[in-house]
Amino acid sequence: MTVQGWILIAVFVGILLALTKPMGVWLHALFEGRRTPLHLVLGPVERGFYKLSGIDPAAEQGWRKYAVHMLIFNTVLLLFTYAILRLQGVLPFNPLGFPGLSQHLAFNTAISFTTNTNWQSYSGESTMSNLSQMMALTIHNFMSAATGIALAFALFRGFARRSSATIGNFWADMTRVTLYLLLPISVVYAVFLIANGVPQTLAGSVDVTTLEGVKQTLALGPVASQEAIKMIGTNGGGFFNANSAHPFENPNALTNLVQMLSIFVVGFGLTWCFGKAVGNTRQGWAILAAMLILFLAGTTIAYSQEAIGNPVLHHLGIAGGNMEGKEVRFGIAASSLFAVVTTDASCGAVNAMHDSFTALGGLIPLFNIQLGEVVVGGVGAGIYGFLLFAILAVFVAGLMVGRTPEYVGKKIEGREVKLAVLAIAILPLVILGFAAISSVVAPGLAGPLNKGPHGFSEILYAFTSAVGNNGSAFAGLTANTPYYDAMLGIAMWLGRFFVIVPMLAVAGSLAAKKYVPETAGSFPTTGGLWVGLLVGTILILGGLTFLPSLALGPIADHLAMIGGHLS
């Protein structure tokens, strides 16, 4: 570990904290449906959309109607994307003449981008046409991110409203988030990336002559526009197979820092927005404090393990940290930080290969996703996942003091606790169930590159990433097979929507409740004790659920490594 590495981490956190309130103020304006400076330009576009679609943005929806409209919208987008991918070979803007995708790959990819997972069982530069990248995939980067933020707004209203039967309007939330947040940031961001050397063209490739005099074909395309929303929307799907390790996606140290910041900035802002929505910004800062504790703990472990390196190589006289699978232009600190950031959010973009991390260094990204990515999470998904854990934590606190638990003025009763447990339990159920099946059946065992504990880690990481809607991978797994495309596709759908529906039910139940004023007997949910309880609840649930599987994978791998075994 180096001083420069810790300075990078400190600067990263400092910039994020400085951006939290400004981003939160903007998000709160969208949450309340208030005018912003952008309404002068984009207001007519918003009104035109409502007029053409026949939507009344003022018409409030109950949680069931909100959920149904959300599911219909995402299902239609799924079918639309599947059709484009299958018909790619006969559609325009296909300069390299790529054929349509196979049924199983189109199925997997359509679900992947619909659910904000962006898992890629393919190499983008050798599989996807420019039209597919722009129309099938980039559109989803906007829509899936906007869906997540809209759902977070719905849960905020559940906590903030009193005796209400409604939690907002899905279409209005989606439209405002897309028009006034994601689109303008992405335009500015894309221009920044173009200025730093990221391509933005409809050309498919260019032939160049290298310094050695060899001809090489470089893949090109509309990269900057996809890269911008890929990061700000915590999507993670790369234009190129190497993702953010590719110089055309992530050219230098500045773009690397900005990419990491953009993964977290909306998630941080949503914590302040939540506090403002419930009338006490300290509630938001408490959630952010818990997120930061988990983030910094994971970063410290991952960075230290990668900096220490492999003791077997040290014994052979090869000193230094673990640079396998990392870009020299980023190094160990920036690669470790990126890995933690992208798995603390449901992003999945990578600037290093997690499969090449040390055993414990690779355990941290895996465990981050297994915690439900509540550390910061995807845009919207992180904060509503965190609030589900908050419901369980305050329930535990209520049991300790022997009274009905309360959180931000709402009594937390049996219905909310059961729904929160249902939403949280779907992740371990599907992750461990599907990983177990894939570890014993022939099609599943055909996927891992490695044998033993590391091979099991590749399988476990794949289903963890799919169910957690992350999209990163232990790249040793061969996933573009009918078996893995189908199983991972189903896992992604379950991990997204089987969490969302119970969460919206929680929002509807809370919105109908009356406000309960704090009393001397109320458990405080803004101080250090609450933050500690919240962190402990998340770690204990994650630890008890996933520790046995981690012991079979990365922990066994680590013990083998320190015992001097290379395979």
Q: In angstroms, rounded to a whole number, what is the distance separating the alpha carbons of residues 452 and 433? A: 19
Instruction: Please give the pLDDT value at position 420.
Output: 92
343: left (phi over 0), alpha (psi -120 to 50) or beta: alpha
Is residue 150 domain-resident?
A: yes
Contact call for residues 475 and 353 (beta carbons, < 8 A): yes
Q: In angstroms, rounded to a whole number, what is the distance separating the alpha carbons of residues 494 and 509? A: 23
Band of pLDDT at residue 540, cut at 50, 70 and 90: confident
The answer on pLDDT for 310 being more than 90 is: no
**Computed over its alpha carbons, how large is the radius of gyration of the chain?**
23
Closest CA to 254 of 345, 299, 193, 178: 193
Closest CA to 368 of 493, 155, 554: 554
Band of pLDDT at residue 291, cut at 50, 70 and 90: very high
The answer on pLDDT for 543 being more than 80 is: no
* Three-point CA angle 448, 452, 455, nearest 5°: 25
**pLDDT tens by residue, 85-122:** 999 999 999 999 999 999 999 999 999 999 999 999 99
Is residue 128 domain-resident?
A: yes
Query: Once rounded to an integer, what is the mean pLDDT over residues 226-237?
Result: 92
* Assigned token pair, 431: 């992750």
Show the beta-strand stretches assigned E in 156-204.
none
Q: In angstroms, rounded to a whole number, what is the distance separating the alpha carbons of residues 524 and 534? A: 12
Tokens 């939290």, located at residue: 20
Is residue 94 domain-resident?
A: yes
Q: In angstroms, rounded to a whole number, what is the distance separating the alpha carbons of residues 143 and 178? A: 8
The answer on pLDDT for 382 being more than 70 is: yes
**pLDDT tens by residue, 479-496:** 899 999 999 999 999 999
Closest CA to 305 of 539, 542, 558: 558
Contact call for residues 223 and 198 (beta carbons, < 8 A): yes
Instruction: Please give the pLDDT value at position 567.
Output: 57
Within 10 angstroms of residue 301's Cβ, the number of other Cβ atoms is 17
Within 10 angstroms of residue 93's Cβ, the number of other Cβ atoms is 16
Q: In angstroms, rounded to a whole number, what is the distance separating the alpha carbons of residues 395 and 412? A: 7
**pLDDT tens by residue, 247-267:** 999 999 999 999 999 999 999
Is residue 479 domain-resident?
A: no
2 - beta bridge partners? none
> Residue 150 is part of which domain span?
34-252
Instruction: Please give the pLDDT value at position 516.
Output: 83
DSSP 222: B
Instruction: Please give the pLDDT value at position 373.
Output: 64
Is residue 157 domain-resident?
A: yes
**pLDDT tens by residue, 22-47:** 999 999 999 999 999 999 999 999 99
Instruction: Please give the backbone phi and psi of residue 100, each rounded to the nearest 5 degrees, phi first.
Output: -65, 155
Largest CA-CA distance found in the chain, in angstroms, rounded: 78
**pLDDT tens by residue, 120-138:** 999 888 899 999 999 999 9
Closest CA to 350 of 496, 463, 242: 242
* Assigned token pair, 76: 């239609």
Instruction: Give the H or E element holding residue 389.
Output: helix 381-401
Which is more confident, 68 or 216?
68
Give the up-direction half-sphere exposure of residue 368: CA atoms within 13 A in the CB hemisphere. 39
- What percentage of the chain carries pLDDT values higher than 90? 66
> Lowest-pLDDT range, 285-294, 346-355, 554-563?
554-563
215-219/205-209 β-pairing: antiparallel
Q: In angstroms, rounded to a whole number, what is the distance separating the alpha carbons of residues 260 and 338? A: 6
3-state secondary structure of 273: helix
CA distances from 113 to 1, 244, 255, 421, 501 (A): 36, 18, 24, 26, 19
> Lowest-pLDDT range, 68-77, 197-206, 402-411, 440-449?
402-411
Tokens 């906590």, located at residue: 159
Q: In angstroms, rounded to a whole number, what is the distance separating the alpha carbons of residues 370 and 344? A: 10
3-state secondary structure of 553: helix
* Secondary-structure breakdown of the chain: helix, strand, coil percentages, each rounded to the nearest 5: 65, 5, 30
* Assigned token pair, 545: 């659920």
Give the up-direction half-sphere exposure of residue 288: CA atoms within 13 A in the CB hemisphere. 25
What is the number of structural domains in the chain?
Answer: 1
Is residue 60 domain-resident?
A: yes
The answer on pLDDT for 160 being more than 70 is: yes
* Assigned token pair, 163: 């005796």
Q: In angstroms, rounded to a whole number, what is the distance separating the alpha carbons of residues 37 and 29? A: 11
Is residue 277 domain-resident?
A: no
Query: Once rounded to an integer, what is the mean pLDDT over residues 383-389?
Result: 90
Is residue 53 domain-resident?
A: yes
**pLDDT tens by residue, 341-379:** 999 988 889 999 988 898 899 899 999 898 876 677 777
209 - beta bridge partners? 215
Tokens 């969302």, located at residue: 500
